[in-house]
Amino acid sequence: MKSENLVEINDLNFSYGNRAILKGINMTMHRGKVIAIMGGSGCGKTTLLRLIGGAVTPSSGYVKVAGQVVHDLTRDELFQIRRKMSMLFQFGALFTDLSVFDNVAFQMREHTDLPEAVIRDLVLMKLHAVGLRGAHKLMPAELSGGMARRVALARSVALDPLLIMYDEPFTGLDPISLSVIGNLIRRLTDALGMTSIIVTHDVQESLKIVDYVYFISEGVIAAHGTPTEVRGSIAPFVHQFVHGEEDGPVPFHYPASSYASDLRMRGEIA
Amino acid sequence: MPRRIVLGIQGVGHRVIESVWRLGRASRFFMLMLMKSGTSMRRFRLIIREIYFTGVLSLIIIVVSGLFVGMVLGLQGYETLQKYGSESAVGTLVALSLVRELGPVVAALLFASRAGSAITAEIGLMKATEQLAAMEMMAVDPIARVVAPRFWAGVISMPFLAAMFSSVGVFGGYLVTVVLIGVDEGSFWSQMQSAVDFRYDIVNGVIKTCVFGVAVTAIAVFEGYDAPPTAAGVSGATTRTVVTSSLAILGLDFVLTAFMFRGMS
């Protein structure tokens, strides 16, 4: 029987040199769910996605995807498991020398021997799902930010992966595009029965569509729960983050020596 | 003062260590690219596409430059040779200069500025905009899919471009000396034909262009792949491609010439 958990992260630690980025992270991600990972800039959210994708190796602990420890795999085995996962990059990362159609067809042509006629139908179906069938002849440079993100979404579901990771999918989008992308993520996850992990800052949009939320602060999981639990949370960090408060457990000021001594004043400013 | 000297020595040491690391990375990258070239060879249309971008689109600059270099050679050659009454040898001078030296070297320098810089900028920008990372996540190796086809396209294009440069150059020399100045056409061509040896001159010229093609495209793809993923990083890498390739071409040209034409007639 297939395990309920598609991704298991156990006591995961990761450092760049001496700087610890992630400290003792434990997470479980169920199949068919949309999970959000939130936290301030530079808290290690994207690094966590890279660890799940096997792009970097942890200092200790492990990440299992579909029962396999990703960083113990050989390059060929890693490429095999990556065919079951997909990643949507922050600005889409569309191949600029290929048309919209060829971008979506890219993986099909690389990994399958499907006839071109079948690829054509599949690509048009994927593009239709994101509402851009009519744009299949355009080049990436001709697309708006929201459209590029939708094409990237169509490309990431091209081979019906088990897992899709989204790196800041809402950044720089207008409210309409933002809502369109949010709803597409939810709809595609449900329709294709995959698991989605969203790394985001956008609290309000993501709370509308996700099943579970993890908050990361200073490299550890500060809180986690369902959207309802998160909205009602009185934990100081969660409260500050969800309501966008300027000061709180995440201070407004970067650590510094005393203000008075920096301004070379004597006793005037406490 | 001693502290400054220590810091200076440290700085030199740091740069040397960094250069050695970089050389190691470049060698490793080159080996990886050769190992992964099988994919490109099996899907030759990937290379054909790149030959269009690096080779065919470089034709204009190669042809125009070749024409002017040939015309200048014809003028200068005639000017000097007529002092000794041997202006009919101008065809030989133009052809040998082009086939042995100027064809391979100038075509390679132009190729480095036109196609090498474009390859570096393209790969560097693909890295900066996460296209290479996206490809990795799609289980497609960027070295096999992006780098190797560009490398082989450059290596294949270079000899043809140099041949085109030399041919057009000879035609330029013909235009100036025979058509404009009035040197005898028969002696222009016949002296050229008897003086230029296929194995000694043309084959050696072709060997040079192959070596330059490998050097320029290897430098271009490595600089692009190794570029820091920022605007400044890509611009620096593009500059380095042109500078390093040009120096490599001139240095290699001396070494190859020393081996090929050691004062033998």
Enumerate the domain spans of chain B: 36-260
Mean pLDDT of chain A: 85
Per-residue confidence band for B242, with pLDDT thresholds at 50, 70 and 90: very high
Reported as a single tens digit per residue, the pLDDT across B45-75 is 889 999 999 999 999 999 999 999 999 999 9
Residue B127: band (very low, low, confident or very high) from pLDDT cuts 50, 70, 90? very high
Query: How many domains are there within chain A?
Result: 1
Provide the shortest C-alpha distance from residue A269 to chain B (in Å): 39
In-domain check, residue A266: no
**The token pair that represents B152 in the structure block:** 């082989």
- In this structure, are residues B216 and B247 in contact, taking their beta carbons and an 8 Å threshold? no
Looking at beta carbons, which residues of chain B come within 8 Å of A80? 139
Q: Which pLDDT band, with edges at 50, 70 and 90, does B172 fall under?
A: very high
Interchain CB contact of B79 with A (< 8 Å): no
Inform me whether the pLDDT recorded for A270 exceeds 50.
no
Question: Is the CB of residue B139 less than 8 Å away from at least one CB of chain A?
Answer: yes
Question: Is the confidence at residue B90, as pLDDT, over 50?
Answer: yes
Please indicate whether residue B15 or residue A263 has the higher confidence score (pLDDT): B15
Residues in a beta bridge with A30: A5
Q: Which residues of A touch B (CB under 8 A)?
A: 53, 55, 79-80, 82-83, 85-87, 89-91, 93-97, 106-107, 110-111
Please report residues of A whose CB lies closer than 8 A to that of B136.
55, 82
* Pairwise pLDDT comparison (A265 vs B171), residue with the higher score: B171
CA B223, CA A258: separation in Å to the nearest integer? 45
Q: Which of B32, B50, B125, B131 to mutate to test the interface with A (most CBs of A within 10 A)?
A: B131
Residues A89, B126: C-beta atoms closer than 8 Å: no
Given a cut of 60, whether residue A268 has pLDDT beyond it is no
State both tokens at A31. Answer: 């199949």
* pLDDT of the residue at B31: 94
Closest residue in A to B129 (Cα) is A93
Which of the residues B129, B132, B150 would you substitute to probe the A interface, choosing the one with the greatest number of A C-beta atoms within 10 Å?
A: B129
Q: Which two tokens stand for residue A156?
A: 């990431």
- Rounded to a whole number, what is the distance in Å from the CA of B133 to chain A's nearest CA? 8
The pLDDT of A203-226, averaged and rounded, is: 86
For residues A153-159, average pLDDT: 89
> Distance between CA A26 and CA A237 in Å, rounded?
19
pLDDT tens per residue, range A92-143? 899 998 999 999 999 999 888 899 999 999 999 989 988 889 988 999 999 9
Q: What is the domain range of residue A90?
A: 5-233
Mean pLDDT of B76-82: 92
In this complex, which of A82, A91, A97 lies closest to B139 when CB atoms are compared? A82
Q: What is the CATH number of the domain that holds A157?
A: 3.40.50.300
CB contact under 8 A, B134 and A90: no
In a domain, A131, yes or no: yes
Given this model, what pLDDT does residue A193 score? 85
Question: How long is chain A?
Answer: 270
Q: Residue A225: in which H helix or E strand, if any?
A: strand A220-225
> Which of A54-68, A252-266, B84-98, B205-219 holds the top average pLDDT?
B205-219
Q: pTM of the prediction? A: 0.84
> A107–B140: do the CB atoms touch at under 8 Å?
yes
Of B133, B137, B139, the CB nearest to A111: B139
Mutate to test the interface with A, among B119, B137, B141 (most CBs of A within 10 A): B137
Work out the average pLDDT over A60-83: 88
Closest CA to A86 of A177, A2, A167, A202: A167
* Alpha carbons B102 and A268: distance in angstroms, whole number: 76
Residue B50: closest C-alpha in chain A:
A97
Instruction: Give the span between the Cα atoms of B217 and B29, in whole angstroms.
Output: 13
Strands A5-16 and A60-65: antiparallel
Q: Mean pLDDT throughout B124-142?
A: 91
B137 contacts chain A (CB < 8 A): yes
Q: In chain B, which residues have their Cβ closer than 8 Å to the Cβ of A98?
A: none
Tell whether B133 lies on the interface with A, counting CB pairs under 8 A.
yes
Over the stretch B18-35, which tens digit does the pLDDT of each residue have? Answer: 999 999 999 999 999 999
Q: Is residue A221 part of a domain?
A: yes
A91 neighbourhood in chain B, CB within 8 Å:
129-130
* Inter-chain touch B138–A94, beta carbons under 8 Å: no
pLDDT (tens digit per residue) in A234-247:
777 777 777 777 77
Euclidean distance between CA atoms A178 and A170, whole angstroms: 6
The confidence score (pLDDT) of residue A261 equals 81
Determine, for residues B139 and A79 on separate chains, whether the beta-carbon distance falls below 8 Å.
Answer: yes
Tell me the shortest Cα–Cα distance from B130 to chain A, in angstroms.
5
**A166 vs chain B: nearest CA distance in angstroms?**
12
Determine the pLDDT at residue A67.
86
**Beta carbons of A95 and B131 less than 8 Å apart:** yes
Interface test with B, best of A96, A116, A153 (most B CBs within 10 A): A96
- Inside any domain, residue A256: no
pLDDT of residue A1: 43
pLDDT at A219: 83
The reply to whether A15 falls in a domain is: yes
In chain A, what residues touch B135 (CB-CB under 8 Å)?
95
Mean pLDDT in chain B? Answer: 92
Q: Strand A212-217 relative to strand A34-38: parallel, antiparallel, unpaired?
A: parallel
pLDDT of residue B264: 54
B35 vs A contacts (CB less than 8 Å): none
Alpha helices in B141-229 (DSSP H): 142, 148-174, 185-195, 204-226
